[in-house]
Structure 1
Amino acid sequence: MMHLDMDAFFVNVELLNKPELHGTPIIVAHEGPRSVVCSASYEARDSGVHSGMPLAHAKRLSPQATILPLRGDYGFYSRAVMRILRDESPLVEQVSVDEAFIDLTGATAIGGSPVAIAQRVRERIADELSLPCSAGISINKFLAKMASTGSKPNGLWVVPPHRVQEFLDPMPVNKLWGVGARSATLLNEYGIYTVAQLREFDAQWLCGRFGNAAGNHLYALARGIDHRPVVTERVEKSMGAEHTFATDTRCVADIERAVQGIALRLGRRLRAAGKTAGALTIKYRYEGFETHTKSIPLTEPVDSGMQIYRIACAALRAMGLLIKSCDGQKEQASRALRLIGVRAERLQQCASGMQQTLFALDPQEGDGAEKADWGRVERALDGIHTRFSAEAVRPASLMGYTAERTHMHRVQHRQV
């Protein structure tokens, strides 16, 4: 098994156009008061900068760092890397834009030893794409991943079967792939700091303190056990988007505009994938990164952005996030919001010929209420968006609205 991980992928793609910055601290991020670090060079990481950190904090840690915006063709380079991997083996499991597992079991008959294949892959990526990467080789996914992490940057580490415990035992438990910060803290409270110490405890003791699933998982990790196969096909489990406001806001108009922009983009994504959502999750964040979520089961599956928008806004009011002001004349958020997000869940394939739901433009349902089949309207607009751009046609309420701080994301699970 091989795990390949591109080194500081976003940074190194940007450096292709700015080679003079090699060897200097670099941070890739959108500029803005609420921006977070997308990627950092190893020189910036030496100062404590890491992905997901607020950009303002990263600038304080590494004041000399150059801030580069996200604008490289990351998808192009990601696809090129995966093609190189598939030239060696058809059993490639891409787990993110910049990393993948490769089952080399059958590939060695033609391609040579696992080490020869890994070296050839790394050389091709360097020669054809001018990008560095690291690789780990071992008997399973967990060990290969740990080996590639240990080989960074731009290295190759092989962990043979007879040296698994020698490799794992000195490691701090918080460095184990699959052990989160909370589990590591609890292990430390029991006096367990290294894998060697973790291995002294049997599965029964671990299950009694961490639960059956987590306890058995920790028991297996300490012994380098991982039976998961490479899975070449994945299906989306959910998809969603979030919007971070430039400043914390209680303005209902700003919040609803953000939700509408998110919902319309989410609807387009659902229809493009031929999916419908059976549930929605609303995510909202206050100052200080206090974050909450609320799941909303749906009586009928949806793929209409406008319908998602209306459901989400109704949920915000039902949850008490949008309330009447003290004078009762207008609405406002109960607390200033920093971020709002909507995620579509329980995805299922859209039924052929599924009748589109009719619903009112006016939130007050009833006789005489103006109704529109938004599903058909949005499908008609999909063609325009595909031919031109997602901004070619948009509701008047979104004129002037920017999606720069709105980020799409997806969650995947393995095809069973």
Structure 2
Amino acid sequence: MAPPRRIAHVDMDAFFASVEVRDNPALAGKPVLVGSPGKRGVVAAASYEARRFGCHSAQAMAVALRKCPSAVVIPPRRERYVEVSRSVFEIFSRFTPVVEGLSIDEAFLDLDGTERLHGSPRAIAEAIRAAVHSELSLTCSVGLAATKFIAKIASDRDKPDGLTEVLPGHERAFLAPLPVRELWGVGPRTEQILRRYGVRTVGDIAQLGAATLERDLGEHGLHLHRLSLGIDEREVTPGRERKQISHENTFHDDLRTRAEIEDWLLRQATRVADRLAAKGLRGRKVHIKLRDTAFTTWTRQRTLDRPSADTPAIFAAARTLVAKLDAEGLLRGRRFRLTGLGVSELTEGRAPEQLALGDMLGAEGGEHKGEVVQDVLSEVRRRFGDKALFPAGVGEE
């Protein structure tokens, strides 16, 4: 029998906020929010000092500032975060060539076969944390396990600057007391269905049995049952070819207006752009997906003039697609439970492929004067404040 795999999930702690504090030591010890103070701004990252007041990423900035009026708000510097991210991933690559980046600030590392060079998986995790701290003056948290999804859950157990190892054979004991929403794929509606059976924890799912879960949730139910038993056979896949990078959200409170839909697509465009930039990719085709409360799904797509990893360009295409759906009468009288945005036809490119403001406005070296770009810049300023060319993303941490 092959020995159990050892996989690490490394997650940078409050990455955007931590970079800002590192670059400006005067912020040390203060509650810091990365985002825009604009009326419709969203928190991209909150320092741990701000989190003590109830602030968190993906929160409306207005809500965060009500919870913590003394917070220092800093506009996001996406190019800076990508630059620091490259240094972080360079440290990862010293210990294993098998690194799968999930986003700009987290990755899976396959540690199988590395013991002779670098020691035990736990020793490697400690060495990574030490290198990140000593070389970059940042902290990260690490989860160690035999599967990807347990390693990811474990990395969140002891934040910030922590290490949690789930030893082989202890997976079910680790998972059993966790709330069901900790499992990938359990949103508010799935959790509601599970509650009908008195299911509150991952251990309850394991006890419920596969047949019941399959009857009510189909293949998704079988998937959840396998996860509850600690079964996840996915490999760490570095540099895997991606056909599409996408992000979607299912909402507890349905969306009722076009403005609400566009707000979420803007957040999703930012998240997708971050992931494209982190992977050094650009995309040519933008897709959106809307699903209403009757579970009817609409998808639309639009091809860009050129491949891009640029938030305004991606959002411009998405907003055009929403306008078409609206013109077709498909938004009126409906409530929407899900929105999604994706970019496909991916090619390798500069990371980030982010246009400077001068380029967008036709300054020397750039002639991008199109009305769509102007409209998008105005929209970003309106929703995220005058200083936020690149709006805050959702769930970067």
TM exceeding 0.5: yes
Quick one: higher RCO (CA 8 Å, sep 6+), 1 or 2?
A: 2
What residue is the counterpart of 1:162 in the other structure? 169
In structure 1, what residue type is equivalent to 2:69? P
* Structure 1 residues 320 and 3, CA gap change in structure 2 (3 angstroms): same
Cα offset for 1:317?
Answer: 5.3
Q: How does 1:364-383 map to 2 (within 5 A)?
A: none
Structure 1 residue matching 2:11: 3-state secondary structure: strand
Does 1:31 pair with 2:37? yes
Distance 2:16 2:235 in 1: 28
In the alignment, which residue of structure 2 is the partner of 1:395?
A: 369
Would the alpha carbon gap of residues 163 and 345 (structure 1) be closer, same or farther in structure 2, given more than 3 Å must change? closer
Pair 117,295 (structure 1): closer, same or farther in 2 beyond 3 Å: same
Structure-1 residue corresponding to 2:3: none
Give the % identical residues: 34
Residue 66 (1) aligns with residue 72 (2): yes
Using a 3 Å threshold, how does the CA distance of structure 1 residues 394 and 45 change in structure 2: closer, same or farther? Answer: same
**Cα 1:24/1:218, change in 2 over 3 Å:** same
C-alpha distance 317-92 of structure 1, shift in aligned 2 (>3 A): closer
Q: How far apart in 2 are the matches of 1:132 and 1:29? A: 21
CA distance in 2, matches of 1:139, 1:175: 17
Deviations 1:28-74 (A, max 9, x none): 11120100110112232232222111110111122232222213711
Amino acid at match of 1:391: L
Give the match for residue 116 of structure 1: 123
What is the CA deviation profile of residues 77-113 of structure 1, one whole-angstrom value per residue up to 9, with x for unaligned ones? Answer: 1111111000100000000111000000011121110
- Tell me the amino acid that sits aligned with residue 296 of structure 1: R
Distance 2:289 2:180 in 1: 34
Distance 1:66 1:144, change over 3 A: same
Q: Which of 299, 304, 317 is equivalent to 1:295?
A: 299
Q: Does 1:141 align with 2:145?
A: no
RMSD between superposed Cα atoms in Å: 4.2
> Shift in Å at residue 309 of structure 1?
7.5
Alpha-carbon distance between aligned partners in 2 of 1:17 and 1:348, rounded to the nearest angstrom: 33
Tell me what 1:347 maps to.
345
Shift of 1:122: 0.6
1:44 aligns with 2:50: yes
Q: 1:316 to 1:101 in 2, by over 3 A?
A: same
Compared CA separation, residues 304 and 342, structure 1 to 2 (3 A): farther
Q: 1:90 aligns with which of 94, 97, 107?
A: 97
Counterparts of 1:22 and 1:309, CA distance in 2: 37
- Give the C-alpha shift of residue 181 in structure 1: 2.6
Deviation at 1:27, TM superposition (A): 1.3
Do structure 1's residue 12 and structure 2's residue 10 form an aligned pair?
no
Q: Secondary structure at the match of 1:151?
A: coil
One-letter amino acid matched to 1:29: G
Distance change (3 Å), C-alpha of 1:13 and 1:389 = same
Gaps of 5+ in 1: 241-248, 284-291, 323-332, 336-340, 351-384, 411-416
Contact 1:312 1:342 (C-alpha < 8 Å) held by counterparts? no
In 2 relative to 1, CA 319–304 (structure 1 residues): closer, same or farther, beyond 3 Å? Answer: farther
Distance 1:348 1:53 in 2: 30
Judged with a 3 Å threshold, the aligned counterparts in structure 2 of structure 1 residues 205 and 342 are, in CA distance, closer, same or farther, namely closer
Distance 1:101 1:297, change over 3 A: closer
Cα distance in 2 for residues equivalent to 1:294 and 1:282: 6
What CA distance in whole angstroms lies between the structure 2 residues aligned with 1:110 and 1:395? 54
- Assess, with a 3 A threshold, how the Cα gap between structure 1 residues 232 and 409 changes in structure 2: closer, same or farther: farther
Q: Tell me the amino acid that sits aligned with residue 36 of structure 1.
A: V
Q: In structure 2, what is the Cα distance between the partners aligned to 1:232 and 1:20? A: 38
The one-character-per-residue Cα deviations of 1:239-268 (angstroms, maximum 9, x if unpaired) are 79xxxxxxxx99xxxx9xxx9xx9xxx9xx
Alpha-carbon spacing, 1:225–1:334, altered in 2? closer, same or farther (3 Å): closer
Task: Tell me by how many angstroms 1:280 deviates.
Answer: 4.3
* Secondary structure of the structure 1 residue equivalent to 2:135: helix
Alpha-carbon shift at residue 313 of structure 1 (Å): 5.2
**TM-score, reference length from structure 1:** 0.67
Residue aligning to 1:210 = 217
Change (3 A) 1:302 1:342: farther
TM-score by length of 2: 0.70
Q: Which runs of 5+ in 2 are unaligned?
A: 1-6, 248-256, 291-295, 308-312, 334-338, 349-354
* Partner residue of 1:224 out of 219, 227, 230: 230
